[in-house]
A = this chain, B = another copy of it.
């Protein structure tokens, strides 16, 4: 096993309404930890890879518990830095049927937003195999945006490969009037892998990309991306058809400069927890890359991993490599004894 995949982003506390309730309908909340890059770090660790979280979080009981939870799942937490301030939160009302899930972010003024710029990237990336960052991280605020750019540039300089997940969050960017296209462009210039689709490319390049069906749109986006970003070697994404809040179909797509791959649509029903599905896909693809599985096998693995995530409560994809391979093996979905 090489060096760890370093994941850079904010640790979040997630507070969600239990048992299909609307938020605060009753006097209970389920609580877990999450965040896009956090999820990737945990998922990679569960799949047997070395992963390391680099972040700044609140030096209080919440931040310490978040660190502990990452450690529980095998993530290297030596890059978790504690600082005064509050911890980023989000409130989730999980959807059901015709009622969509709702995320209410409460991340303003967090220790991460205020202090992400203090990270020493040469130290944080020492020995790393890859760096993973998503578009949520720069959206958190100017400090975080600067840090994300600095991190990816440092990685490039140090020969650490970079993957970026688009994860466009207009609501977060709007809070500080951040220039998303410029910043994401800068980050993507350093990346060899993009988890994103035509919407991400359209946003970053400030022009609509492609037309046609789901596959055509994504293929056009890949073509455009490979032209615009010389270092990019792989773009992977999904198409999600949403029949109801609990019933989606997920199809995976992957593109290199030389080829295109896709999976059959996989029906996700009932969806137990929609959050973290994209991060599970990204971690699944990274697993394939790290293991050298080839594009089709990586994509199949990634979609299967994402499918399992939808069947597990919380942000994290608490499955092993064997669980994903079991789903792919065709051994069926009846009880395993």
By a beta-carbon cutoff of 8 Å, the part of chain A in contact with chain B is 15, 19-32, 60-62, 65, 68-69, 71-74, 85-87, 89, 91, 93, 95-106, 108-109, 169, 171, 240, 242-248, 266-275, 304, 307-308, 310-314, 318-319, 323, 326-327, 332-337
A333 contacts across to B, CB distance below 8 A: 95, 98-100, 242-245
A71 to chain B, nearest CB (A): 5
Task: Report chain B residues within 8 Å CB of A269.
Answer: 97, 244, 246-247
**CB nearest neighbor in B for A66:** B24
Known: A93-B61, A312-B20, A314-B25. A242 touches B307 (CB 8 A): no
Find chain B residues with CB under 8 A from A100 CB: 326, 332-336
Inter-chain CA distance A304–B267, complex, in Å, is: 25
For residue A171, which residues in chain B have a CB less than 8 angstroms away from its CB?
A: 337
A335 touches B102 (CB 8 A): yes
Cα distance A212–B190 when bound, in Å? 57
A308 to chain B, nearest CB (A): 5
Q: Chain B residues with Cβ under 8 A from A24's Cβ? A: 31, 61-62, 65
Most buried by B among A27, A71, A99, A269: A27
List the B side residues contacting A96 at CB < 8 Å. 270, 272, 311-312
Contact assessment for A22 and B312 in the assembled complex, using a CB-CB cutoff below 8 Å: yes
- Further pairs besides A98-B308, A98-B311: 6, Cβ < 8 Å: A26-B27, A28-B29, A96-B272, A100-B335, A245-B311, A275-B335
| Nearest CB of B to A328, in Å | 10
Which of B72, B244, B271 contacts A69 (CB under 8 A)? B72
* Contact in complex: B268, A103 (CB < 8 Å): no
A62-B25 in contact (CB<8A): no
| Chain B contacts for A271, CB-based, 8 A | 97
The answer to whether A98 and B327 touch (CB under 8 A), given A15-B15, A30-B28, A335-B275, is: yes
Q: Which of B23, B245, B248 contacts A65 (CB 8 A)?
A: B23
Contact A71 B69 (CB under 8 A): no
Give me the 9 closest cross-chain CB pairs, A-B, nearest first: A72-B72, A99-B311, A24-B65, A97-B311, A98-B307, A96-B311, A103-B337, A101-B335, A109-B109
Q: Which residues of chain B come closer than 8 Å to A103, judged between CB atoms? A: 335-337
Contact A246 B270 (CB under 8 A): yes
User: CA A313 – CA B337 in complex, angstroms?
Assistant: 19
Could you jot down 10 A-B contacts, CB within 8 Å?
A26-B27, A71-B72, A96-B312, A97-B272, A98-B268, A99-B308, A99-B327, A100-B336, A102-B335, A247-B269
